[in-house]
């Protein structure tokens, strides 16, 4: 993960597809605090819990002036089904198969499981300040209590 971001780095401005057929990139949030939460796959237990936890706190994030954006490599149609199934409130974006934001940040990386090596998303959350710079990084996130911890940090920023 040599290109993994550091606090103070500017988030690369890479366009991602949204479930509504549009697109989004980090510069769209200039002037607002932003939470980018990268997760491996829609509709899997940990990822579903994480998205539901951010959904439960979406109003609190909004009141604190903080935008949310969940990111995985899942295609927009899969995101749309995931959102509908769980009534998710945090917007989701589809990162490109190759050369996407998670690649640029070093979050899409080689992983190992049961002796098998494959490319995968490291569950990571970035808190981005209003100028587009990374204020805090959570890497290899454990889902339980994570959204609450991010809310506290985002509110204090």
Decide: helix, strand or coil at residue 24. strand
d(CA 152, CA 150): 5
At residue 5, the pLDDT reads 78
* Band of pLDDT at residue 71, cut at 50, 70 and 90: very high
Domain count for the chain, please give it: 1
At residue 97, the pLDDT reads 85
Q: Is residue 47 assigned to a domain? A: yes
E-assigned strands of the chain?
A: 16-17, 23-24, 33-38, 66-72, 92-94, 108-113, 116-121, 124-128, 134-138
Say whether 47 is catalytic. yes
CATH of the domain at 102: 3.40.30.10
This prediction's pTM: 0.94
Structural domain boundaries, residue 96? 16-156
From 47, 57, 69, 121, active-site residue:
47
Q: Which residue has the tokens 């990374």?
A: 134
């Amino acid at each position: 993960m040599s290109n993994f971001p550091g606090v103070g780095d500017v988030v690369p401005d890479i366009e991602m597809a949204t479930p509504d057929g549009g697109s989004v990139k980090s510069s769209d949030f200039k002037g607002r605090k932003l939470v980018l939460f990268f997760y491996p796959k829609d509709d899997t237990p940990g990822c579903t819990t994480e998205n539901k936890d951010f959904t439960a706190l979406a109003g609190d994030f909004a009141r604190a002036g903080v935008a949310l954006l969940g990111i995985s490599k899942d295609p927009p149609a899969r995101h749309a089904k995931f959102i509908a199934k769980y009534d998710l409130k945090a917007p989701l974006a589809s990162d490109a198969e190759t050369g996407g934001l998670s690649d640029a940040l070093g979050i899409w990386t080689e992983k190992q499981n049961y002796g098998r090596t494959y490319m995968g998303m490291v569950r990571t959350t970035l808190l981005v300040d209003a100028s587009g710079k990374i204020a805090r990084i959570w890497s290899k996130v454990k889902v339980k209590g994570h959204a609450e911890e991010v809310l506290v940090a985002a509110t204090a920023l």
